[in-house]
């Protein structure tokens, strides 16, 4: 009876205070969360997790010895993914970052890239730990959270791969990368990341996670620090990729 009463009360509240889709701003139906069914169906999902040699992995050729490079969604200016990222980063909607991480994590499991029931030897073939790109402490304090943590948490929930939000730190605040050239982007992030808990990455295959990738300079600099700390393999997964 109590469960029924709570359900009815929830339905009543949804009528008075309806929730809206982040992408299209239409009212969500019962059972929908954050993104309506139609917008979820229309999300520009990449197939990078199905193809080891993809457009994103090519950005790191000759720069970083990565195993895999994935991105869940394609980012275009004014599109659904931009609205999602804006809501995550600037409206504090951490829930949507976790939810998308869970969705993408399930795709990785389905593709055999996260072996939930495998023995330890088999698990060494895939990722053993997830590390999100850190924010500088001043920026994190201002925003209140790290959006990459949200995506990493969701990935961990469905892949059963542990994630750590404090093993990596960003020692220096950097200026925006948006209007910088390739060399300027690299100089802007060189030597700013540090692995403060090397025991977490030593001898392991690390999956490095970020919200969106453009040139990949930030990911490249962070990955170099992880490899120098003793990781044996490095892969990359981002919520979105700018195309």
Q: Which of 5-19, 69-83, 137-151 has the lowest mean pLDDT?
A: 5-19
Element of type H or E holding 234: strand 233-242
Q: What is the mean pLDDT of residues 20-32?
A: 94
C-alpha distances out from residue 67 to 42, 174, 206, Å: 29, 27, 10
pLDDT band for position 187 (50/70/90)?
low
The residue-averaged pLDDT of 28-47 equals 96
**Separation of alpha carbons 78 and 17, rounded Å:** 27
97: Cα separation from own chain's centroid: 8
Region 198-226 average pLDDT: 95
Residue 118 has pLDDT above 50, yes or no: yes
- Confidence band for 181, pLDDT divided at 50, 70 and 90: low
Residue 110 DSSP SS3: helix
Burial of 230 (0-12, 13-18, 19+ CB in 10 A): middle
Which domains are present in the chain? 1-42 (no CATH), 43-242 (3.40.50.2020)
CB contact set of 66 (below 8 Å; sequence gap of 6+): 57, 60, 223, 234, 235, 236
pLDDT digits (tens, 9 = 90+) for 196-207: 999 999 999 999
DSSP string computed for 129-187: EEEEPPPPHHHHHHHSS-HHHHHHHHHHHHH---B-SSSEEE-S-----TT--HHHHHH
Q: Give the mean pLDDT of the chain.
A: 87
pLDDT digits over 60-105, tens only? 999 999 999 999 999 999 999 999 999 999 999 999 999 999 999 9
Radius of gyration of the chain from its Cα atoms, rounded to whole angstroms: 19
């Amino acid at each position: 009876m109590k469960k029924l009463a709570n359900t009815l009360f929830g339905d009543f509240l949804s009528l008075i205070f309806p929730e809206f889709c982040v992408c299209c701003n239409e009212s969500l139906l019962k059972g929908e969360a954050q993104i309506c069914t139609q917008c979820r169906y229309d999300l520009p999902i990449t197939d990078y997790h199905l193809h080891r040699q993809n457009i994103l992995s090519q950005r790191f050729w000759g720069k970083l010895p990565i195993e895999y490079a994935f991105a869940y969604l394609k980012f275009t200016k004014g599109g659904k993914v931009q609205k999602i990222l804006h809501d995550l980063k600037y409206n504090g909607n951490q829930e949507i970052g976790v939810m998308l991480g869970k969705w993408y994590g399930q795709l990785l499991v389905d593709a055999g890239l996260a072996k939930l029931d495998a023995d330890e030897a088999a698990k060494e073939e895939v990722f053993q730990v997830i590390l999100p790109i850190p924010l500088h402490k001043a920026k994190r304090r201002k925003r209140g959270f790290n959006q990459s943590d949200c995506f990493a948490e969701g990935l961990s929930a469905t892949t059963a791969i542990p994630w750590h939000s404090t093993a990596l730190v960003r020692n220096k605040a950097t200026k925006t990368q948006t209007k910088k050239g390739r060399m300027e982007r690299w100089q802007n992030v060189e030597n700013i990341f540090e692995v403060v808990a090397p025991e977490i990455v030593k001898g392991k295959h690390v999956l490095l996670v970020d919200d969106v990738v453009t040139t990949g300079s930030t990911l490249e600099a962070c990955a170099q620090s992880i490899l120098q700390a003793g990781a044996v393999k490095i892969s990359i997964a981002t919520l979105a990729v700018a195309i």
